Amino acid sequence: MKLEFILFGFGILFSLAGVGYLAAEYVKYLSEGGKLVSLLLTVGMFGFLGKYFEGLGW
């Protein structure tokens, strides 16, 4: 169980680092529509992740 949480932690860190890198590189070239959809997806991503961890009992 502990190992699972560590792996989840690494997964989250890598995901955030990946999105952060892409955002830093390419967000300046996004169109207005692209920025809006990206924002909605980011909110959705963290929202669903929160619900997932809530289901795990965190």
Give the binding site for another protein (CB under 8 A): 15, 18-19, 22-23, 25-31, 33-34, 37-38, 41-42, 44-45, 48-49, 51-52, 55-56
Q: Which residue shows structure tokens 């965190």?
A: 58
Least Å from the CB of residue 20 to another protein: 11
Least Å from the CB of residue 51 to another protein: 4
Least Å from the CB of residue 42 to another protein: 6
Alpha-carbon distances, residue 41 vs 3, 9, 23, 49 (angstroms): 29, 21, 13, 12
